[in-house]
Structure 1
Amino acid sequence: MALQELRSSAVTFRRILAHFPEELSLAFAYGSGVFRQAGRGADAQDAMLDFVFTVDDPVDWHSRNLKKNWNHYSFLKVLGPKLISTIQNDYGAGVYYNTLIMCDGRLIKYGVISTRLLVKDLLNWNSLYIAGRLQKPVKILAMNENVILRSALDRNLTSAVTAAFLMLPESFSEEELFLEIAGLSYAGDFRMVIGEDKTKVLNIVKPNVAHFRELYGSILQENPQVVYKAQQGRLEIDKSPEGQFTQLMTLPKTLQQRINKIMDPPGKNRDVEETLFQLAHDPDCGEVVRLGLAAIVRPSSMKQSTKGIFTAGVKKSLIYSSLKLHRMWRGWLRETS
């Protein structure tokens, strides 16, 4: 990206952020409006900009935002900030989205999540919704000095590498690794059947290998279980049962629990460590990990999408869904042409 383009983007982001209350522990932009994606033509420059705002006190933040941006909200705004925050925290993946907003001449969508819930998702992968977004390159726009949040962000990336290792062969390329990582939060997502371009993960990774390398390079260099040949873009990992058991034991808690539920026969009630030890010796270890990921992502994505109908309003939801279906159709045409 040219220097002039970078400066223009920085100005755009600053001007958009100025429309919102400042009390943000983390703000980032993501998606095709920020990072180039394969298959997106001239429309990419005018693509909707996607943001996530992390806030310590959702009630206070929504209260301030309702005063500044009343028209951003659906009919739920009449319920007030307390109920909006309850809907945000207690349903779906813990994030409240306002979508199809015109802000400073650009179409935007923004999600609001509490710092507490984000940290839990980053560490445990309770929903892998925003944690999954943060496993791919994003543009950090604001971040306060929250040591716990910063540590959780790093842990999420390390966990993504570990999960991907378990689903890969002994030797693989950087691109294969990044494809697995980018696909973690789409495992079992019903939107990949209806609503998303089937080549979405490939389109995210192909033009952004350098950004993924920047995000994961130091983690790969410091991991004792991998031989990282950065010059050749190749990696080799320990696929012994001992090596896989070590990796399985460091996976986020929710994924371990889902794996245990998949593998534990009725009436056995084995503990997680016993199940993971057995799985480490199983040739289908990677596929079980993939099933565990799907068991996290499928319900959270469905609940969050259902919640989106109410937070966006029916009209905006229909427009947003039609845009997604249009992109899916174009992706299908590219595949079959």
Structure 2
Amino acid sequence: MSRICRLRVTFNQLRSFHCVSVRLSTFVSPTTPYSDKYYKPIITEGAAGFDKLVIPKDFRADNQSLTTESQEKLAEIVGTFDAEISAVVGYGSGILPQNGYDKPDKEKQLDFIFLVEDTGKFHKENCKQNPSHYSTGSQTLINWWQGSGIYFNPYVLIKDKLTKYGVTSRRSAFMDLSEWSSLYFAGRLQKPVNYIKEDNMLRFLNQYNLKNAMTIAIFLMQANQFSERQLYEQITSISYLGDFRMYVGGENPNKVKNIVSKQFQYFKKLYDPILQYFIRRNYLVITDNDETNRTFKTNLTTTARINLISSLPLKFRTQLYSKYPESSVKEIARDEKLPENIRGLITSTIIYSSLIQGLKGLFTAGLLKSLKYSIAKRRKSS
């Protein structure tokens, strides 16, 4: 998988690097140890630091290689598209197992997100090949609804499989991973996903995203001692804070536990290098080394909390600091209301992006498809 030597990248110069995924056998895998030093340019400058970002020689992120038995079939579905696609992420209950979602395979919707270089070019070519996937043939409307977010085409049949695919630019996806600008794409990748078509930059940025997700989860934990399962449940819950579907019955209220329960071994593999980083830095201490479900306690000194806060995504960090206009980072780190402020900031970020996506879906999917999708979601939540 390691085809990358040292190289400099910009949003407009990133190229695809395709790797052969391996099946999940154990959560321990060859992975480049996590270090903030790799991400200094984006930690200090955000998106403006991409020109200085360097992928380490022989970088590997095998912890993110989470494939399924239907890998070839998923690749075949993606392969039906003529328009160029840089990377594809498969997610949701149709791709990876979740408790409470035991429909026959033929009834499961397969969820994908396509990362493309130019969304306008993709839609223009895709409309010619798959006009029935769209609610309108107007390129002006499609491009307007696309914006900087994700454009979804749900409930389309591809190779006799019910499919939903979202389209986003690599620039927007990478921006969210590195700055948490919306936490819509980044939130999905904080949970196990299946890379149907991948590139190393996506994996590289997601290691930073995973580390930040664990940072937030530890800050939000109400107890200073917790199990590994509880940690992954806290991480999973991050992307649902502020998701309006959780408040209107559009999502299963037990969704977080359902995901972690069925995908626990995937989480263990995905977060193993990040956990090792926290343990090496003495931020977490193992109190019970049970190989099935370890127990940890936090060891967050003021210096440790400053280090963790100071390496959070720039946009998110700036918004957090704005809640403390006259305070130093040390004072912020010691504030008893820090978890509350972090939770509020995440909630406000996600509620905005989830509402925008929800409204956008009414137009991009069409009224009938939107109603069908909403009814299906409500049935799942019951």
TM-score relative to the length of structure 2: 0.76
For the residues of structure 2 that align with 1:58 and 1:97, how far apart are their CA atoms?
A: 12
Q: Name the TM-score, length of structure 1 as normaliser.
A: 0.86
Q: Percent identity?
A: 34
**Which of 76, 84, 92 in structure 1 is aligned with 2:142?**
84
- Where do 1:131-146 residues align within 5 Å? 131-145=186-200
Alpha-carbon distance in 2 for matches of 1:280, 1:144: 36
Say which SS state the counterpart of residue 186 (structure 1) adopts. coil
- Letter of the 2:369 partner, please give it: K
Match of 2:121 in 1: 60
Which residue type is aligned with residue 241 of structure 1?
T
Match of residue 298, structure 1, among 341, 347, 351: 351
Q: Per-residue CA shift, 1:47-77, capped at 9, x if unaligned?
A: 11100000011122112211111110012x2
Distance of 1:310 and 1:39 partners within structure 2: 29
Give, as a single letter, the amino acid of the residue that structure 1 aligns with 2:198. M
Kindly tell me: are residues 230 and 327 of structure 1, through their superposed partners in 2, closer, same or farther at Cα, counting changes over 3 Å? same
Equivalent runs, 1:109-120 vs 2, <5 Å:
109-120=164-175
The alpha carbon displacement at 1:45 in A equals 6.2
Q: CA deviation at 1:44?
A: 6.1
- The aligned residue for residue 242 of structure 2 is 188
User: What does 1:1-337 align with in structure 2 at a 5 Å threshold?
Assistant: 6-7=68-69, 9-21=70-82, 23-43=84-104, 46-75=107-136, 77=137, 79-80=138-139, 83-90=141-148, 94-145=149-200, 147=201, 149-168=202-221, 169-194=223-248, 195-223=250-278, 224=281, 225-228=283-286, 229=289, 231=291, 233-261=294-322, 263-264=323-324, 269-270=325-326, 274=327, 276-328=329-381, 330=382
Structure 2: distance between partners of 1:87 and 1:277: 42
Give, as a single letter, the amino acid of the residue that structure 1 aligns with 2:206: L
**What do residues 193-243 of structure 1 show as CA deviations (whole Å, max 9, x unaligned)?**
111111111111111111001111011112312235463512232233322
Aligned partner of residue 312 in structure 2, secondary structure = coil
> Which amino acid counterpart does residue 239 of structure 2 have in structure 1?
S
3-state SS, counterpart of residue 239 of structure 2 = helix
Instruction: Note the alpha carbon deviations across 1:144-202, whole angstroms, 9 max, x for none.
Output: 35x4x332122111111111111123221111110111111111111101111111111
Cα distance in 2 for partners of 1:313, 1:257 equals: 38
Please give the secondary structure, in 1, of the residue aligned with 2:77.
Answer: helix
User: Residue 133 of structure 2 aligns to which amino acid in structure 1?
Assistant: H
What is the distance in 2 between the residues matched to 1:323 and 1:186? 18
Tell whether the 8 Å contact from 2:190 to 2:209 is kept in structure 1 after alignment: yes
Q: What letter matches 1:300 in structure 2? A: S
The unaligned stretches of length 5 or more in structure 1 are 331-337
Equivalent residues of 1:28, 1:52 under 8 A apart: yes
Q: Distance in 2 between matches of 1:45 and 1:260?
A: 49
| Aligned-partner Cα distance in 2 for 1:119–1:310 | 25
How large is the RMSD of aligned CA atoms in angstroms? 2.3
Q: CA deviation at 1:275?
A: 5.5
Contact preservation (8 Å) 2:83, 2:126 = no
What is the one-letter code of the residue matched to 1:48?
A: Q
Instruction: Read off the aligned partner of 1:185 and give its amino acid letter.
Output: S
Aligned-partner residue type, residue 13 of structure 1 = L
Q: What's the counterpart of residue 59 of structure 2?
A: none
2: CA distance, partners of 1:321 / 1:166: 34
Please identify runs of 4+ aligned residues in structure 1 that moved more than 6 A. Answer: none
The residue type paired with residue 219 of structure 1 is: I
Q: How many residues align?
A: 311
Match of 2:370, SS? helix
Look up the equivalent residue of 2:377 and give its one-letter code: K
Identify if the C-alpha distance between structure 1 residues 52 and 196 changes in structure 2 by more than 3 Å, giving closer, same or farther.
same
